[in-house]
Amino acid sequence: MSAAWQAFDDELARWGEAGRSVDFWWRDDDACREHPALSRLLALAERAAVPLGLAVIPEGAQAGLFDNLPATVAVLQHGCDHANRAAAGDKKCEFPETDVQVDALARLAKARSSLMAVTGGRALPVLVPPWNRLGDRLVISLPGAGYAGLSRFGACKVSSAGAGLVEINTHVDLIDWRGSRGFAGEAAVLGRAVRHMAARRDGRDASGRRVDGAEPIGWLSHHLVHDEAAWAFLARLFERTGGSPAVHWRHPAELFALP
């Protein structure tokens, strides 16, 4: 067993010894069309019996995508069209701060209703902004636009709590976007997970900042760019955690407190 898996198992054992269980959840982004990688993702979720938050791009989403989708898969709204509207040189973003607020809200409303239509009403009122970026001004308008939840990357921001939104983020990205654009490797991915788990267990992170011990840890995947190593990692992660009393894989609806 690699040192990375050993460290992960050791951290899980610490949770077990403390009589606690850590909450994990799984989000996969960029579903829109039927694709062999999407079929593989859904088959993996079913085989592992792990609930999945599938972030679907509303524009162009195929109705066939949602046929026979089990209840363990929650559909989340991944922006509107996943187009980059950031100024040249800025980080990619579908909803930059320079965007006219009413235009952004109108786009969201249209996308939300088309996603509800194509999914037969099963999309949760949860927004997953592309590239995990959404300006604060828009965040505070989301509840008024019918959203109950938001999911970005990293520790939850105070702005969403103030806005009356449930923010449930992802923290461990499987993909090395700046380098290989494939699996980031066991050492990097498990290292990140172990740091988050240890911080939740201690109530503070490595630099001493207070951490909400109850914040679930989100694993982020992108089926369309998975190489074999990414698929193998996910399968192994589910195998090792599936039977562990120290891990609870939570359903997105439960986390966002939605029926």
Q: Give me the least distance between CB of 138 and Zn ion, in Å please.
A: 17
> Would you say 29 or 186 has its CB closer to Zn ion?
29
Check binding of 30 to Zn ion (CB under 5 A). Answer: yes
Q: Give me the least distance between CB of 168 and Zn ion, in Å please.
A: 17
Segment near Zn ion (CB under 5 A); pick from 22-30, 142-150, 206-214, 237-245? 22-30
Check binding of 173 to Zn ion (CB under 5 A). Answer: no
Q: Of 170, 173, 147, 143, nearest to 233 (Cα)?
A: 173
- Segment 78 to 137, residues that bind Zn ion, using CB under 5 A: 130
Tokens linked to 193: 């997970």
Q: Give me the least distance between CB of 203 and Zn ion, in Å please.
A: 32
Check binding of 167 to Zn ion (CB under 5 A). Answer: no
> Would you say 30 or 186 has its CB closer to Zn ion?
30
Cβ pair 232, 226 in contact under 8 A? no
Cβ pair 200, 22 in contact under 8 A? yes
Tokens linked to 176: 């090395």
Total residues at the site for Zn ion (CB under 5 A)?
3
Q: Of 136, 129, 133, nearest to 160 (Cα)?
A: 136
> Would you say 130 or 216 has its CB closer to Zn ion?
130
Check binding of 58 to Zn ion (CB under 5 A). Answer: no
* Interface ranges with Zn ion (CB under 5 A): 29-30, 130
